[in-house]
């Protein structure tokens, strides 16, 4: 079965940190660009951070630059999103997806093999 699975969400206080992990089954993540997206109720899905297939390029939304960091571990078949200095407005369901190139980060409809999402709550 081809799928991606997210983990690592939870409740954190403002200023705290979380690490989200994406892994896959049925295929290897290092064959694709991989991205993290978030979607609040009633809003469009937003590309937060993506990493290219060859790891040489990354994308970050302006809202998370300097606070979030994306990385791969090909041996573990994972892509990790380290989220620091979390703000209440970062609270959302976060999804992992794969695409053919980094451009899908700004065009989520080009992504495929989406995970079920993991909830991030930022609250005191």
Chain segment 77-111, per-residue pLDDT in tens: 999 999 999 999 999 999 999 999 999 999 999 99
Residue 31 in this model has a pLDDT that exceeds 90: yes
Classify each residue of 67-100 as buried b or exposed e, where b means 16 or more C-beta atoms within 10 Å of its C-beta: ebebebeeeeebbbbebeebeeebbbbbbbbbbe
Residue 1 in this model has a pLDDT that exceeds 90: no
pLDDT of res. 112: 85
Question: 75 pLDDT band (50/70/90 cuts)?
Answer: very high
Contact 25, 114 (CB under 8 A): no
Residue 62 in this model has a pLDDT that exceeds 90: yes
Look over the chain and give the mean of its residue pLDDT values, rounded to a whole number.
95
């Amino acid at each position: 079965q081809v799928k991606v699975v997210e983990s690592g969400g939870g409740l954190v206080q403002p200023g705290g940190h979380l690490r989200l992990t994406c892994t896959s089954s049925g295929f290897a993540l290092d064959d694709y660009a991989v991205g993290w997206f978030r979607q609040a109720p009633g809003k469009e899905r937003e590309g937060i951070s993506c990493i290219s297939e060859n790891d040489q390029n990354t994308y970050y939304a302006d809202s998370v630059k300097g606070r979030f960091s994306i990385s791969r571990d090909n041996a573990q078949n994972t892509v990790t999103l380290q989220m620091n200095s979390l703000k209440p407005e970062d609270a959302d369901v976060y999804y992992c997806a794969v695409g053919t190139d980094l451009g899908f980060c700004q065009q989520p409809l080009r992504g495929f093999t989406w995970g079920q999402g993991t909830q991030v709550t930022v609250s005191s």
